[in-house]
């Protein structure tokens, strides 16, 4: 089925470990973004991309890196995991940024850092 | 960052009751969206609103784009158990990114 695919669904990391959360979409969407969801905090934007080769920071970018080498993929990297990064992470995509397009979300990655 | 004020934060209702929730902002938006998040899943778009004063329905759900363009409302009629989840409003202005509310968690007692 077409949509946004996130892997893995669950992950436990030790403090200081690194890992990459994968996100892929097959809808040829230009816009892709990463959010984290914490209890009582809603969805907070980490990084976003308006097209291949272009990325920018959201409101909570510290501790995360992204790249966008293709239209389809937008991986999120944690270089040195910290307990404060325990959260549920969502990738979302849209045909373009703005102009009334809603976002299509993946099913999320639940990350625990111990 | 900018957030929308969504209320209530949580609701505990009996099956069959109607539900109302709303979102307000100090800024004007051109688009209002309502999403639902089922437990363990990502948010899914329910309703999109593009014009001030617009009233749109999707089954038992009805949403309105406030006339001032600074608020939006979502109503659910005759709630059923599968309505359980978190409802998010989101606003958009021009080419800018979506701004999300903090969510309303709906719990239904059978």
**In chain A, residues 60-89 whose CB comes closer than 8 Å to chain B:** none
Chain B touched by A39 (CB under 8 Å): no
**Distant-in-sequence, close-in-space partners of A46: CB < 8 Å, separation ≥ 6:** A33, A34, A35, A36, A58, A59, A60, A61, A64, A66, A76, A89
Share of chain A above pLDDT 90, in %: 88
Chain A touched by B98 (CB under 8 Å): yes
Chain B touched by A23 (CB under 8 Å): no
Eight-state DSSP code of residue B40: T
Asked if A47 and A79 count as a contact pair (C-beta separation under 8 A), the reply is: no
A-chain residues within 8 Å CB-CB of B52? Answer: none
Rounded Cα distance, A67 and B33, in Å: 28
Rounded Cα distance, B72 and A9, in Å: 33
Q: Calculate mean pLDDT across residues B13-37.
A: 95
What pLDDT, on the 0 to 100 scale, is given for residue A1? 63
What pLDDT, on the 0 to 100 scale, is given for residue A99? 62
* pLDDT band, very low/low/confident/very high, at A39 (cuts 50, 70, 90): confident
Cross-strand bridge partners of residue A19: A78
Eight-state DSSP code of residue B27: S
Chain B touched by A108 (CB under 8 Å): yes
Q: Calculate mean pLDDT across residues B41-61.
A: 95
Q: Do B88 and A44 touch (CB under 8 A)?
A: no
- Residue whose C-alpha is closest to residue A30's, from A92, A88, A86, A79: A92
What pLDDT, on the 0 to 100 scale, is given for residue B2? 58
Cross-strand bridge partners of residue B90: B33, B100
Asked if B74 and B54 count as a contact pair (C-beta separation under 8 A), the reply is: no
Q: Calculate mean pLDDT across residues B42-69.
A: 95
Asked if A114 and A17 count as a contact pair (C-beta separation under 8 A), the reply is: no
């Amino acid at each position: 089925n077409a949509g946004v695919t996130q892997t893995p669904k669950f992950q436990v990391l030790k403090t200081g470990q690194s890992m990459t959360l994968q996100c892929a979409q097959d809808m040829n969407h230009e816009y892709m973004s990463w959010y984290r969801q914490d209890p009582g905090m809603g969805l907070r934007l980490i990084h976003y991309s308006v097209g291949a080769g272009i990325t920018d920071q959201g409101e909570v970018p510290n501790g995360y890196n992204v790249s966008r080498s293709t239209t389809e993929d937008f991986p999120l990297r944690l270089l040195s995991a910290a307990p404060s990064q325990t959260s549920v992470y969502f990738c979302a995509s849209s045909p373009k940024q703005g102009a009334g397009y809603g976002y299509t979300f993946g099913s999320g990655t639940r990350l625990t850092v111990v | 960052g900018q957030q929308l004020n969504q209320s209530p934060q949580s609701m505990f209702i009996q099956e069959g009751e109607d539900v109302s929730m709303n979102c307000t902002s100090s800024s004007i938006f051109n688009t209002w969206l309502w999403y639902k998040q089922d437990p363990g899943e990502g948010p899914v778009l329910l309703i999109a609103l593009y014009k001030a004063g617009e009233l749109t329905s999707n089954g038992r759900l009805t949403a309105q784009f406030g006339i001032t363009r600074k608020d939006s409302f979502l109503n659910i009629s005759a709630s059923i158990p599968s309505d359980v989840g978190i409802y998010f409003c989101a606003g958009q202005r021009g080419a800018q990114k979506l701004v999300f509310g903090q969510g309303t968690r709906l719990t239904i007692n059978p």
